[in-house]
Every structure is written in C-alpha cells, then in structure tokens.
Amino acid sequence: MPKDEFDFEDPMELNGMAFATEEDTTDLMAECFIEEFMRLGHNHKQVLALFRNPYYIGMHMVLEKRGEAFVKDLIAEIFGRWGRKVDWPEVGSSRREEAPTPEAEEKEQSLLTSAATNKLDSGPCDPMGEPIPKLNL
C-alpha cells in the first residue's frame, strides 16, 4: 500500500486517540511532558522553553492554563524525583506566591540591571533556549 493512503486496519499505523472526560488531566499531562523531555536529555531551561513555544500545543496549553510559576514548580518537582537540581534565575517561581514586601520589590527592581533587560529584550527563543537569530533578507 502506498504511504500516502491511510489504512485503518494496519496495526503499525500511528493513531492518535482523544477521550472526552470531565476530569482535568492537565497536571498529569504536564508531568508526562516534563519527564519525557528530561529523559531525552533536555535540561530544565530547555523544557521550560518548550512550554513557552506555541508550536508545542499541549505543553503551551498547560502554560496558558496554569501559568509559568506552576510549570516551573512542576519542572523542579519532576527533576527532583530523578535527583536533578533545578535553579531558576528569576524571582517568583513559586506556585504559592506571597504578597511582595517593599524589600522584595526593591530587590526585584535592583535585579533588573542593564544585562538583565538586554536578556529580556533579546526576543523569542528556540525550543533549546537559544535566541532566534535575526536575519536580514
């Protein structure tokens, strides 16, 4: 059979399945994504970059639905299960963020140095966490 035609009776053909449930499976789905890419050799920053990438629809949906702080904590939790250390350079990566104190706000402002703002302004990143080059065509 030609490869372009789909055969429903071929047991080796890749099939995607969707199940309608009333239960929210977002957390379990995110755990599976994180563990899968961790076991493939990605570090925690690369996994977070995959969640930020809109082309990874399932992962990006979790980020939009639960927020970045939730995803960061889940990444740290999964990596911790496997004995891998995770250090997030940014402030406020906790699921249970507390109200910022004036000292914390001053500290956060002091962290925004020129180097940090250059990093933030560098633009979008590829799934591996590297900045996407600007091409002049």
CA distances from 63 to 59, 74, 91, 137 (A): 7, 11, 18, 33
Name the more confident of 106 and 42: 42
Name the more confident of 37 and 118: 37
The residues spanned by each domain of the chain are: 23-85
Query: For the ranges 58-62, 89-93, 100-104, 112-116, which has the lowest average pLDDT?
Result: 112-116
Averaged pLDDT, 28-56: 93
Averaged pLDDT, 105-109: 54
Give the pLDDT confidence score for residue 3 in this predicted structure.
Answer: 64
Asked if residues 53 and 60 have their Cβ atoms less than 8 Å apart, the reply is yes
Q: pLDDT band at residue 106, thresholds of 50, 70 and 90?
A: low
- Which of 108, 77, 103, 74 minimizes the C-alpha distance to 91? 108
Give the pLDDT confidence score for residue 104 in this predicted structure.
Answer: 54
Q: What is the distance between the alpha carbons of residues 56 and 51, in angstroms, rounded to a whole number?
A: 7
Asked if residues 137 and 54 have their Cβ atoms less than 8 Å apart, the reply is no
DSSP labels for 68-127? HHHHHHHHHHHHHHTT------SS---SSPPPPPHHHHHHHHHH--HHHHHHHTT--B-T
* pLDDT tens digits for range 3-33: 667 777 888 777 767 777 788 888 999 999 9
Contacts of 45 (CB under 8 A, 6+ apart): 129
* pLDDT tens digits for range 56-90: 988 999 999 999 999 999 999 999 998 898 988 75
Give the pLDDT confidence score for residue 116 in this predicted structure.
Answer: 42
State the DSSP code for 13: S
% pLDDT > 90, the chain: 36
